[in-house]
Structure 1
Amino acid sequence: MSDASFDQDSIAGNGDASFGDYFALLKPRVMSLVVFTALVGLIVAPVPVHPFVAFCSILFIAIGAGASGALNMWWDADIDQIMRRTQKRPVPAGKVHRNEALAVGLALSGFSVVFLALAANFAAAFLLAFTIFFYAVIYSMWLKRSTPQNIVIGGAAGAFPPMIGWVVATGSISVESVLMFALIFMWTPPHFWALALFMKSDYKDAGVPMLTVTHGRKSTRRHIIAYTLLLAPVAVGAAFTSIGGPIYLVAAVLMNAWFIKGAFDIWRRDETTAEADGYKVEKSVFKFSILYLFLHFGALLLEAVLRPYGLGGWS
């Protein structure tokens, strides 16, 4: 049997898929981040939203995120089979047929967009549709396999959810929603490049032009510190808008100081040292970067919750 036939057979599906396998198509970990940031975007908006409308809107945004994940798994089935980090996903593992992933992705895309329009407004539905298109087509089909800037530009897909939540509430885009978008957008490159530093062989074997593959780890380390320094003023700057306040400011200053320190630690390291300790620092910074994002949006949420009691915000 040829390698090509093996690849085709192993992503054909064996008919034994469970509910859990289909749920895994939706990338639940990514979905959890989408739900949280979209919810924060909705809650910090200056316009109150009926709890039932808010619940339905977040549900449909989550389904849209899941649709994007399914479409990504359909398209990336061939390289997911090669990369150790993704080999256990439902399609490369042979549990779900590749065409089933496509059908699930398309069906959920249409469902989520239509029902978000009905539950909230057409502006939010349009933005959700564009987000799905951006992730599935612009990032997955084009950027990911064609340029080392894949993560930089493609990061926009993960940055839209808080903006969608804001539009659900207000029907429009504002400076605050743009700053929430920018926070995730600028955070994405150093977050994924830290991962790529200790996962380089996966991307190289799959033919994905990640920065570590095209420019090497030394260049990637420089890019991480550069983007982290650019990220800090965006993150801290949000404190001085209507959604910020002293709680967020303290959290942002501390988190960014720590993130910058971690980026400098990565920048100073050479490959001999990194390989000797199993990329300990790089793995630590990657894990912290996840906490970094949740704490920023958590602080924004706390400001919004305390604001009615006169404890949140600058007022």
Structure 2
Amino acid sequence: MNQTLTPTAPLTSEGVAPRATTGANVPAGWQDFLALTKPRVMSLVVFTAICGLIAAPERIHPVLAFTAILCIAVGAGGAAALNQWWEADLDAGMKRTAGRPLPTGRIGRTDARDFGMALAGGSVFLMGFAIGWLAAAILAVSIVYYAVIYTIWLKPRTPQNIVIGGGAGAFPPLIGWVAATGEITMMPILLFAIIFFWTPPHFWALALFVKSDYAKVGIPMMPVVAGERSTRRQILAYALLLLPLSVAPWWIGGAGLVYGVSAALLSLLFLALSARVALREREGPEDTMKPEKQLFAYSVIYLFALFAALVVDRMVV
């Protein structure tokens, strides 16, 4: 069932303005298909992939570098579309996601599925033929990890969905590195691990202030199943683990002092904000959850800044 939208409608959770419609049976527009790829999330995927490629010790032709990043972006978009295809009914029940193209009826489920499959399959084959089959294999694993292992298996079954599923978003810098070098070494594994351990506190900070949405549709996110107090403590635990892990690329000699100092300072602030969240209690239904929202916002800035420092460090060497 189509929904009439006005041009002044708020942005969707993916940062794309819902397309204005005038009634039923309006063909899907490019904005709707773009929204299926979760462009706001994709921007972080693309950025970390570029940083992994630039930080690698070997250079590749700019056209091949562009192709590799394009494949990673398209593959991530395909996985996001498949995620929304599978979760269309859940998205319709949550305020944060109700404006997406599938819940509003702007795109049919079959079209979303086919679009996602085309993007995912095309990106893997292009990566294989243009760049190399090791990078293509890792890209394929990342797509399956997010669209199948996380979306279909983990998310509806366990409060550890974000912990285990965090690997899905940790692949881009690894793929970028492999696209440039053709091999897996300790440095890209550390970049993978940084994002893997960053994901739980990042996402649980969000889950704390949208807890009611997940509870309403039966998704066993940590705050819903284990409670807020346990979730807050686990946020702090992961932030503590993230501090030494983020500096590890400098310790092993894979990055220089610019990165090492930046990583330490950024991670200490991440830890301070996490401690603030961990040591407080919700002050009632009118609590604005400001510390949790600040941690979530900073966590995005943190990852951008950390990987930017890696690139700057590489350029000044």
Is the structural similarity TM-score above 0.5?
yes
Indicate the residue corresponding to 1:101 in structure 2: 112
Indicate the residue corresponding to 1:90 in structure 2: 101
Superposed displacement of residue 15, structure 1 = 4.0
1:114 counterpart = 2:157: no
Q: Counterparts of 1:51 and 1:41 in 2: how far apart (Å)? A: 15
Indicate the residue corresponding to 1:131 in structure 2: 142
Q: Counterparts of 2:109 and 2:200 in 1: how far apart (Å)? A: 29
Give per-residue Cα distances to partners, 1:209-246, cap 9 Å, x unaligned.
Answer: 00000011011011100111011110011222343111
Superposed displacement of residue 249, structure 1 = 1.3
The residue type paired with residue 256 of structure 1 is S
Indicate the residue corresponding to 2:310 in structure 1: 300
Check whether the contact 1:243–1:303 (CA below 8 A) recurs between aligned residues: no
Indicate the residue corresponding to 1:5 in structure 2: none
Indicate the residue corresponding to 1:226 in structure 2: 237
The residue type paired with residue 251 of structure 2 is F
Give per-residue Cα distances to partners, 1:132-162, cap 9 Å, x unaligned.
Answer: 0110000000000000000000000000010
Q: How many positions carry a matched residue from both structures? A: 294
Indicate the residue corresponding to 1:4 in structure 2: none
Indicate the residue corresponding to 1:141 in structure 2: 152
Give per-residue Cα distances to partners, 1:51-93, cap 9 Å, x unaligned.
Answer: 1100111111110010001000100101000111111111111
The residue type paired with residue 221 of structure 1 is R
> Please, which of 249, 252, 264 is the counterpart of residue 260 of structure 2?
249
Looking at secondary structure, tell me which structure has more helix per residue: 1
Q: Counterparts of 1:21 and 1:227 in 2: how far apart (Å)? A: 36
Indicate the residue corresponding to 1:68 in structure 2: 79
> Please, which of 200, 204, 208 is the counterpart of residue 215 of structure 2?
204
Indicate the residue corresponding to 1:36 in structure 2: 47
Q: Counterparts of 2:171 and 2:229 in 1: how far apart (Å)? A: 31
Q: Counterparts of 2:241 and 2:271 in 1: how far apart (Å)? A: 10
Indicate the residue corresponding to 2:292 in structure 1: 282
Q: Counterparts of 1:288 and 1:21 in 2: how far apart (Å)? A: 29
Check whether the contact 1:176–1:242 (CA below 8 A) recurs between aligned residues: no
Q: Counterparts of 2:141 and 2:226 in 1: how far apart (Å)? A: 31
Superposed, which structure 2 residues align to 1:181-196 within 5 Å?
181-196=192-207
The residue type paired with residue 126 of structure 2 is F
Check whether the contact 1:124–1:171 (CA below 8 A) recurs between aligned residues: yes
Q: Counterparts of 2:283 and 2:307 in 1: how far apart (Å)? A: 37
Superposed displacement of residue 277, structure 1 = 4.0
Structure 1 unpaired stretches of 5+: 1-12, 308-315
Q: Counterparts of 2:30 and 2:154 in 1: how far apart (Å)? A: 31
| Identity within the alignment, % | 51
Q: Counterparts of 1:216 and 1:227 in 2: how far apart (Å)? A: 17
Superposed displacement of residue 112, structure 1 = 0.3
Check whether the contact 1:143–1:150 (CA below 8 A) recurs between aligned residues: yes
The residue type paired with residue 180 of structure 2 is A
Indicate the residue corresponding to 1:217 in structure 2: 228
Question: Normalized against structure 1, the TM-score is what?
Answer: 0.91
- SS of structure 2 residue aligned to 1:86: coil
Superposed displacement of residue 170, structure 1 = 1.1
- SS of structure 2 residue aligned to 1:271: coil
The residue type paired with residue 66 of structure 1 is G
Q: Per the alignment, do residues 237 and 78 of structure 1 end up closer, same or farther by CA in structure 2, a change over 3 Å counting?
A: same
CA RMSD, Structure 1 to Structure 2 (Å):
1.2
Check whether the contact 1:243–1:304 (CA below 8 A) recurs between aligned residues: no
The residue type paired with residue 254 of structure 1 is L
Q: Counterparts of 1:250 and 1:14 in 2: how far apart (Å)? A: 56
Indicate the residue corresponding to 1:16 in structure 2: 27
1:46 counterpart = 2:53: no
Q: Counterparts of 1:28 and 1:47 in 2: how far apart (Å)? A: 29
Give per-residue Cα distances to partners, 1:166-193, cap 9 Å, x unaligned.
Answer: 1101111110000000000000000000
